[in-house]
Amino acid sequence: MSWKKKNSACSLIPAVRGQYHRPNFQTLASFAVADDNFLYGVLLLVDKKRRKLDTATLKLIKLACLMLAGTIRQALRHDETKKRIAELSGLYEIGMATSATMELDALLERILSTAAKVINARGAILRIIDEQTGMPRVASEYGEVSETSACLLTSNLETAVVSGELPFVATTLPDHQGHLHSYLGVPLNFKGHLKGMLCVFDKMSETLEFQEFDAENRQLLFTMAGMISSSIENALTFRELETLAEKNERMVRVLTVLQEISWALMTTVRMEKILDIILNALTLESGLAYDRAVVLLVNEDRHVLKAVKGVFRKPSPPTLPLREALMVPVEVRTESEIEKLLSQLQITLQEDKGILARTVLQKKTFHIAQAEQDARVNQELRRAYDLQEFVSVPLIVKDQVTGVIVVDNQQSKRAIRDEDVQILNMFANQAVLAIENSRLYSTIEANNRELSLIRERMLESDRLAALSGLAQGMAHEIRNPLTSIGGFARRISKKVGKNSPLRHDVEVITQEVERLEKLLREVLDFSGVNLGYYEEHDLNQIIEDALTLIKRDLVASNIKVAKDFALLPNVHCDDRQIKQVFYNLFQNARQAMDKGGTLTIRTYPMEKSDGLYAAAAVSDTGGGIPLELLHNIFNPFFTTKEFGTGLGLSIAERIVSRHYGQIEIINELGKGVTFIVTLPIAKYCLIKSTEDQEAQT
């Protein structure tokens, strides 16, 4: 309105002004250009001559003034309407923008560009602040905004939001380094709460000059802020919902995977299979998809954590559903250096031994983002296994850590999210139950085995006791008549002459009686072994004693004896029984070498997986045992000898096994046989019997 008036005045006044100094007119008429409400201006009529305006002219001029006022009013209204239409169309565009999309980024871009365009600003900024963190939750910009300007605006906004003050309409900028000329900000209220601001900056004229923001701009921006805040809120909510839905979808997928894994774990109680399923689940593409996974178990006795099995990621078999893929046995490829190292991985359970030890001791999951920079990580292990980001999850059952699962993405470098760690924990809970089940099952199995072993031994000793009772009864009944039959036969044999035809017959009686008496001795000695009396003894001495018993027989059979005795720790045994073992072995060797030979006896200490043993090797040069007979030699009453009872080796074997020892046989056809007797040395033997007792209870 004002500039229109100015323009019309400008065209007139200079001409008038120039003549004020020398007034050359005689007549001046002034008329108000006005309507009922408003004075628009004044109409001056000038004449050089002196004249008087008649009534008709005056009327005409007044009418013209009235019409002029009407025209001016129309023009002003037109301008006003044009502006309003521009504003309305701006608001319309904002309205269109707000309903155009639910996608937050696109929405904000449209809103900001429209706002800037409507107000003729160079650009616009929008910030929404998270009340809890005080940080911008949403930040969107349009037009060229320098970083310092954006920071300045943001910090102004944060102050305003945090202090709860209504923001600012600043038309001059406090800091001119920001390259902003002016800006206009209005609050964004969500549900009555101040949450952020909408800001436009640098209003430009059509000729690209900076202009100040005016009250109308401010009003317009307020209106816009009101319009957009709800749609922004909707879009925000929509985005959050979408994120939630995505998260839910991921969760559902993970739960499905976990369910499949759980199903697979329930199909078996075999530790080996369970470990395979766990490692498959961790590394399969359709499972949890880690690059590498290792299971370590705690050994309570030795306070160490030991790697049991590890695997590198492999692509899922394409046609196999997860459920079946989980069951495929894991083959540990040992060609890889790292996997070779894994088999030796053993960690002492102390806090300073690294993350894995801590996982056990603190019963806590560790997510290490940068192994190299983490002082808690065992750097030696890190180098050996090329660890970067990894997670170490404890397997906890009944508040006890039984093991640890370690996973990483060494090759793909895929980041591990907090959510993944949560899932790992859930998985670990399932895995540990399966492992525990398997452990319980194998304990039960071991106990069962132990029980049936004990039962077998009890049955055996029952049998032996029965045999013993029977044998003792028989001994008295049979030995007496045998003694007299044999005794009288010998008497007859002495009385008949050397050439008597009776002599041969009587000798048969004598021999047969001798055979029966020998059988009796062996049977009685066999049953007698029940009377065990265990003490610590020197195996070398026992062997010497046994050798003394048979020395005469050996000399008679032309058998040389070669001894090679090592110094041995004592064995825990019944020396009479062990003497019997070696006596029987020597007898056996003597009979194998009926045409003479060498009996070699060598003793030496021997380390087995379960402890230290004393070993004695008894070798003959009797040509060995024919293969078809080999499997029978420890069976009672099996004999190849004319005068054998077949009990010798069987007795030896039983005695040795009752001492927790073993008899091995090395048969070299054409050369001879070596029997190797191993007996646990005293210390380990005690441990064994304690273990037995524990297993029983």
Partner 1 sequence: MKKILVADDEMSIRLLYSEELKDEGYEVLTAADGREALDIVEKNPLDLVILDIKMPEMSGIEVLRQIKEKNPNLPVLLSSAYSEYKQDFGTWASEEYLVKSSDLEDLKAAVKRHLQD
Query: 3-class SS at 686?
Result: helix
* Structure token digits, residue 586: 């020597």
In contact, 246 and 110? CB cutoff 8 Å: no
Nearer to partner 1, 513 or 539 (CB): 513
Q: What residues between 451 and 490 interact with partner 1 by CB under 8 A?
A: 472, 475-476, 479-490
Out of 35, 389, 514, 538, name the contact with partner 1 by CB under 8 A.
Answer: 514
Nearer to partner 1, 525 or 692 (CB): 525
- Contacts with 598 (C-beta within 8 Å, 6 or more apart), sequence order: 559, 560, 561, 562, 620, 621
CA-closest candidate to residue 197, choices 238, 232, 149? 232
Burial of 147 (0-12, 13-18, 19+ CB in 10 A): exposed
User: Which helix (H) or strand (E) segment is 350 a member of?
Assistant: none
* Structure token digits, residue 274: 């369970």
- Residue whose token pair is 């999309």: 101
Out of 221, 391, 513, 655, name the contact with partner 1 by CB under 8 A.
Answer: 513
The torsion angles phi and psi of 414, rounded to 5 degrees, stand at -65, 130
Q: What residues between 54 and 83 interact with partner 1 by CB under 8 A?
A: none
Name the minimum Å distance from CB 558 to partner 1: 24
Name the minimum Å distance from CB 491 to partner 1: 7
Nearer to partner 1, 282 or 513 (CB): 513
The residues pairing with 674 across neighbouring beta strands, listed in sequence order, are 619, 666
Which residue stretch of 277-285, 508-516, 556-564, 605-613 sits at the interface with partner 1 (rule: CB under 8 A)?
Answer: 508-516
Name the minimum Å distance from CB 471 to partner 1: 10
Residue 320 interacts with partner 1 (CB under 8 A)?
no
CA-closest candidate to residue 349, choices 401, 424, 405? 401
Conformational region of residue 578, where left means phi above 0, alpha means psi within -120 to 50, and beta covers everything else? alpha
- Residue whose token pair is 């039983």: 654
Name the minimum Å distance from CB 563 to partner 1: 29
Name the minimum Å distance from CB 559 to partner 1: 24
Nearer to partner 1, 136 or 486 (CB): 486
What one-character DSSP code corresponds to residue 20?
A: T
Query: 3-class SS at 98?
Result: helix
In contact, 625 and 634? CB cutoff 8 Å: no
Nearer to partner 1, 234 or 493 (CB): 493
Nearer to partner 1, 134 or 469 (CB): 469
Name the minimum Å distance from CB 572 to partner 1: 21
Nearer to partner 1, 516 or 695 (CB): 516
* Structure token digits, residue 292: 């590498």
Out of 436, 517, 545, 692, name the contact with partner 1 by CB under 8 A.
Answer: 517
Helix pair angle (502-528, 418-495), 10° resolution: 150
In contact, 390 and 371? CB cutoff 8 Å: yes
Name the minimum Å distance from CB 521 to partner 1: 7
Name the minimum Å distance from CB 505 to partner 1: 16
Strand spans (E) along 177-287 = 183-190, 193-204, 210-211
Nearer to partner 1, 514 or 538 (CB): 514
Which residue stretch of 299-307, 319-327, 338-346, 520-528 sits at the interface with partner 1 (rule: CB under 8 A)?
Answer: 520-528
Q: What residues between 521 and 540 interact with partner 1 by CB under 8 A?
A: 521, 524-525, 528
What residue type is assigned to position 250 of the chain?
R
Which residue stretch of 100-108, 321-329, 511-519, 688-696 sits at the interface with partner 1 (rule: CB under 8 A)?
Answer: 511-519
Q: N- to C-terminal Cα distance for the chain?
A: 108
Angle at 365 (CA atoms; ends 363, 366), nearest 5 degrees: 125
Nearer to partner 1, 296 or 489 (CB): 489
Nearer to partner 1, 237 or 484 (CB): 484
Count, residues near partner 1 per rule CB under 8 A = 24
Nearer to partner 1, 509 or 665 (CB): 509
Name the minimum Å distance from CB 670 to partner 1: 38
CA atoms within 13 A on the CB side of 43: 16
Which residue stretch of 39-47, 433-441, 517-525, 601-609 sits at the interface with partner 1 (rule: CB under 8 A)?
Answer: 517-525
Which residue stretch of 222-230, 377-385, 516-524, 587-595 sits at the interface with partner 1 (rule: CB under 8 A)?
Answer: 516-524
CA-closest candidate to residue 381, choices 297, 280, 307, 331? 307
Name the minimum Å distance from CB 524 to partner 1: 5
Rounded-to-integer distance, Cα 82 and Cα 71, Å: 16
Nearer to partner 1, 83 or 491 (CB): 491
Name the minimum Å distance from CB 527 to partner 1: 9
Contacts with partner 1 by CB under 8 A lie at 472, 475-476, 479-491, 510, 513-514, 517, 521, 524-525, 528
